[in-house]
Each structure stands twice: as structure tokens, then as C-alpha cells.
Amino acid sequence: MNPDAIREKFGDDYIADERTFMMGIDQRFTAHMAERFRGRRVLETCTGAGFTTIALARAASQVITVEIDPYHQTQAKKNLQRAGLLSSVEFVSGSILDPSLLAGLPPFDAAFLDPDWAITGPDHVYRFVHSNTQPPADILLKTILERTRNVAIVLPPLLDTRELAGLPRNECQKLYLGESHELYCLYFGDLAAGFGDTAFRVSV
């Protein structure tokens, strides 16, 4: 990976391969989203190479982060070490949808969910209901809302938001880099600054 691109997107000489680079969220967005978690004990899923984990560890009082892919988790540990935050984070290996893993987690009072959008080709259609993200965003959100009402979930920009009807009251934020709508973040419970549609813009 081009080190300049990594520095520009994530802020330092972190480790990433093509996949974790593409999946990782830009530092200007991660810092913004992590502010909502200031002082909280956060469950994060999914870790990837740890770019959201770094932002959360800077704001939260405690971070537990779950990742199914050992290769991604190894990158994340190296990146947290590079950021000087390794000791602030508890890494858990496995699937967040495994009931025994979920039952064994330390207590948390908020959660940050960043499922893999798994782009598979030009005809790919993003779905929330019967979601085709990994893990499925609809099942993931329902599962975690049973543990805490304070949840943020990142979703792809091309989603048909009519599929979100019926969810508990939330703030549905569109995040833009310049004029480009890059992602949605839905905030539930105390993480919502208000309810309804909002926008966050980073100028480029």
C-alpha cells in the first residue's frame, strides 16, 4: 500500500493492505463519530485494521473490539501499538453474532458497529433488510440493541433508507467528503444529538 495514501486517510504510518485500506474509515470521520462516545465503555465491532478503534480509544474510557478475521486483528493490534493505545483496548477474536462470545464480553454502555459492505461487483445492491453486509447489518443491530440502547452503526451510502423504517428512533447522519456522500451513520439512544436526518461535511 502507498504510505502517503495511508497517512492521508488514517493519519500515520499505519499497516493496511488493499482490503483493510478500502474498508477503513477516513480519520476525519472517525474522530467525528468517536466524539459521541466520550467517557463511555464501548463495544466495537468490527475492528478491521483498527482505524475506528484508534479514534474510539482516544475518546472512550474503555474499548472492547471484536473481529472475526485474525489477519485483520493482527494489523489492528500493530496499528493500536503505533498509536500508543494498545493498552486501552481489549481485543476479542470471533464472531459478534456468536451468543457465547457476546455473553462473555465485559460490561459496556454503548456500541459502535461497522459491518463489512463486501462490494462484490457492479451489480451489487446494498440491502439493510435481509442485509448482505458481513455480519448482516439488520441482525447485528437488533442483537446489540438488546444489550444497549446507545448504538451507532455505519451503513453504505447507496442504501435505500426506506428499508430503515421501523427501527427505534434515531439520528440518521449523512457524512460527506466535499460533495461526495461517503457513508451513513445511525445513532440510537443517548448517542443521538437529535432525531431525524442530519449531515456532517468535511471540506476537501
Ligand X SMILES: C[S@@+](CC[C@H](N)C(=O)[O-])C[C@H]1O[C@@H](n2cnc3c(N)ncnc32)[C@H](O)[C@@H]1O
Q: Residues interacting with ligand X, by CB under 6 A?
A: 23-25, 45-46, 48-52, 66-69, 72, 95-97, 114-116, 134-135
Specify the residue, 27 or 162, whose C-beta has the smaller distance to ligand X. 27
For every residue of 15-82, DSSP letters joined together read ---HHHHHHSPPHHHHHHHHGGGTT-EEEEE--TTSHHHHHHHHHSSEEEEEES-HHHHHHHHHHHHH
Q: How far is the CB of 68 from ligand X (least distance, A)?
A: 4
Minimum CB separation of residue 180 from ligand X in Å reads 18
Shortest approach of ligand X to residue 54 CB, angstroms?
8
Residue 86 phi, psi dihedral angles, 5° rounding: -55, -40
Residue 115 or 148: the one with the smaller Cβ distance to ligand X is 115
Nearer to ligand X, 8 or 197 (CB): 8
Instruction: Write down the least CB distance from residue 196 to ligand X, Å.
Output: 25
CB contact at 8 A, 202 and 194: no
Q: Which is nearer to ligand X, 3 or 196 (CB)?
A: 3
Burial class of residue 41 (count of CB atoms within 10 Å of its CB; 0-12, 13-18, 19+): middle
